[in-house]
Structures are given as structure tokens and as C-alpha cells.
Amino acid sequence: MAFKNIVDLHTHTDNSFDGNHSTMYLCETAFMKGLRAVAFTDHLEMDAFYKDRFDRTAIQSFFEVSKARSAFKGRLLVCVGAELGQAVYNKEISEKLTSTMKYDIVIGAIHNLPEVQDFYYMDFNDESIDYNKLLDQYFEWELKLAQWGGFDTLAHLTYPLRYIVGNYKKPVDMSKYSEIIDEILLTLIKNEKALELNTAGLRQPIGVTSPDEGILRRYKELGGKLITIGSDAHFAEHLGAGIEQGYELLQRCGFDSIAIYQNRTPTLIPIE
């Protein structure tokens, strides 16, 4: 199945500490690949905003992407975005930042628990790490993030599973989180925030999107309508990766449109 409205609303330029390609090169690549829209959402880890100089990243990324948005006008819709990590650990700065910078889209994410390293860096073979307890805390913070609501779309809801289940093959009983996940989804719906379908997992050992089909179906059942989709590309070659598979998955779950954001306002475009 081929889709014509391919959009990718979660990508990283070399302004992200783990990004690799320049904004202009990424735009050229996205255009060559036939994407309709791309959002650049460089990492701003709000719990280390000044310490790790994300204040500088924010400005650099914002102006570069704004410039690219003008340069590609009429060829590719470029959205200026940011992926705010751990915004709920530092609401004050997060709110100040998002009210000062005129973003098209703000993604809300949690990559680490307070004062703990990113799940990405953890060794889950280390038996002193109680990953079930960390997951309990993670979902509580996801709920707090949804309740705060200072973003447009909630990124990779099941982020730690990429590593715990995908890389380390540890068993996780997700049924015990169904109640809190329902609460998170209902909070997003009430606050008119989108749920992100992050396709990075499709090219990683875990092999599924975040969230997966079960959670997407539940979101639909609870009345969820706003979905964004993103590859979480950190390389030009990953732009648009998994978006078509994601669209097929969304259609199976009963969704027929996808949200794009300009000036923090959603527009629904048909999945076709």
C-alpha cells in the first residue's frame, strides 16, 4: 500500500546531542523522499536545561529550523518544534520557554526519572536495578506530564520498553499498567492533546511502535482522535521510516486522519 500524505513530526537535527545531520540536508532528504511535512524536534532536556546548555541548543535549533521553513516554503512543510524531556521536573522553565519561542509543535517526553540516568543508558542485566519499580514510577510521571499538558503531543508512551523488553529481553507485565495508561489517555483527550505514534521501535530490537497496537486501540475506544506520527530519526536515512507501516496500523485501529501542527494548532489530514 502506498500513501501520499507522508508526514514525520518527530526528528532530530545535529543540534541534538545525538543528532547527525544538518537541518538543510535533512530538508533536502525529506523533500527527495516525497514527505509532505517534517517537524524538527531537537532534544531539550528540561531537568538539565542550563547545566547542559540546552538554552543554547533551543535558540540555535529554533533559528536554523525557522530559516529552513522559509527556504523550503511551497516544497516541503517544515515545522519548528522541540522535544521537551522531563518538562514536569521543571515546569517553570518549560512554560517560560514555550511561551517565548513560537514553536509549531512541542513534544512532551520522559527519558529519565528524577536524578536518574536515561533509560537508554541503563544496564537492565544489573540485578540491583528493579526495573519494575522504575516502570511504576515512569508511568506515574507520564500521567503527571499529561496532567500538566504544556505540550502538543505525548512522545513514545512506552519508551523504557525499547530498552527493557527490546534490548534486554526482560519480561514486563503490561496488564498492571492498563489502569494508569487509561488515565493518561483520558487526560490527553480531556486536554485536547495528541498521542504520538513513534515508529522508531520498528527498526529497533523491540520491533513494535510506541505505543503499540493495544494502546492505540484503547485510545480509540476511549474517544481519542488526535494522533501525531514520527520516526524519531537521528539520521537522514531514517526520515519517514516506518510511517507507512504506522499508517496501516492506524487504519487497522480505526483512525482515518493524522494531525500536523503549525503554530501549536492541529490540522487533521487524511491518512491516504
Q: Which residue's beta carbon is nearest to the bound Zn ion?
A: 109
Is the CB of 179 or the CB of 237 nearer to Zn ion? 237
Regarding beta strands 105-109 and 77-85, do their DSSP bridges make them parallel or antiparallel, or are they unpaired? Answer: parallel
Q: How far is the CB of 10 from Zn ion (least distance, A)?
A: 6
8 with 229: CB under 8 angstroms? yes
What span, in angstroms and rounded, lies between the C-alpha atoms of 261 and 103? 9
Q: How far is the CB of 217 from Zn ion (least distance, A)?
A: 23
Report the interface residues with Zn ion, using CB under 5 A.
83, 109, 232
Is the CB of 29 or the CB of 41 nearer to Zn ion? 41
For 3, 85, 125, 151, the CA distances from 92, given in Å and listed in that order, are: 41, 14, 36, 14
Cis amide prior to 160 (ω within 30 degrees): no
Q: Calculate helix-pair angle for 178-190, 131-148, nearest 10 degrees.
A: 20
Q: How far is the CB of 256 from Zn ion (least distance, A)?
A: 26
Is the CB of 81 or the CB of 224 nearer to Zn ion? 81
> Looking at the DSSP assignment, which residues form a beta bridge with residue 106?
82
Q: How far is the CB of 131 from Zn ion (least distance, A)?
A: 19
Is the CB of 52 or the CB of 251 nearer to Zn ion? 52
Which three cell numbers mark 57?
541548543
Find the helix or strand (DSSP H, E) in which 178 lies. helix 178-190
For 26, 42, 64, 70, 82, the CA distances from 22, given in Å and listed in that order, are: 6, 12, 9, 16, 16
Is the CB of 93 or the CB of 233 nearer to Zn ion? 233
Q: How far is the CB of 204 from Zn ion (least distance, A)?
A: 13
Closest alpha carbon to 224 in 265, 260, 253, 261? 253
Q: How far is the CB of 254 from Zn ion (least distance, A)?
A: 26
* Phi, psi angle pair for 84, to nearest 5°: -85, 115
Which three cell numbers mark 52?
547542559
Q: How far is the CB of 218 from Zn ion (least distance, A)?
A: 22
DSSP string, 189-254: HHTT-EEEEE-GGGGSTT-S-BS-HHHHHHHHHTT---EEEE--BSSGGGTTTTHHHHHHHHHHTT
